[in-house]
Amino acid sequence: MDAIVLLGAPGSGKGTVAEDIRNAVNYQHVSTGDLLRAAIKAGSALGEEAKRYMERGELVPDEVIINIVKELIDSGSRDARYMFDGFPRTFAQAERLDEVLSSYGSSVKYVFLLEVARPVLVRRICGRRICRQCGAVYNIHTKRPSVDGVCDHCGSKDIYQRADDTEETLNNRLDVYERQTAELIDYYDRKKILVRVDAEDRLKTEQAIVAYLA
Ligand code: ADP
Ligand code: ZN
């Protein structure tokens, strides 16, 4: 088993980068945000609980997140390779991840910190649109579908803005990130596995990570 982590503010591009490089680096992309949204869509009790926090831009409680990830790892293959996106987000989550991995004789190999200036984050997130059918991500400023309102990948016309991608909720999410996630940077820096990546330019970011792992 092997694991790497993509760390960065909402809008730093973790999800897009992970999808783009997963084949090249041979890691499975695990987004806790996507897992939670799937639980909400499925109408599970866990989804109902998570929804209340997500709508306000708050973090879902550590126990809920840790259980989801632990279940995924425990039910996965012994030689799985995970690229976590949006997890861990708190110090407690990071410690529990270390415990789970070490029970399999593994540990986090590298943590890539995607660094982007706050005004860029705001612009990216408020402009983000998603295809409800296939999950493809667009941006009204930088990455519109080639036919307006129609998904390039699946042809669906159901392209929406995430409820927590509005300016109000966003400011809260960015504050939460700075408060709770920043201590993770220290934690991983002390372990000497933190790799800072300039994430203003998506392609350069991806090339940097792929090169680092090669
Ligand atoms: P973003 O990184 O753009 O905020 P995500 O899809 O990663 O988007 O997360 C959306 C929301 O899901 C978060 O605001 C939070 O409420 C919840 N969430 C996702 N991952 C975690 C986590 N590891 N710990 C706590 N809450 C989480
Ligand atoms: Zn689509």
Instruction: Report the pLDDT value the prediction gives residue 53, as an integer from 0 to 100.
Output: 93
Identify the residue whose C-alpha is closest to ligand 1 atom 3.
10
Residues lining ligand 2 (ion), CB within 5 A? Answer: 131, 133-134, 136, 151, 153-154, 156
SS3 191: coil
pLDDT tens for each residue of the chain, 214 residues long: 999 999 999 889 999 999 999 999 999 999 999 999 999 999 999 999 999 999 888 889 999 999 999 999 999 999 999 999 999 999 999 999 999 999 999 999 999 999 999 999 999 999 999 999 998 889 999 889 999 999 999 999 999 999 889 888 888 889 989 888 889 999 999 999 999 999 999 999 999 999 999 9
209 CA to centre of ligand 2 in angstroms: 27
List Cα–Cα distances, 183 to 11, 96, 99, 136, 187, in angstroms: 19, 15, 18, 31, 6
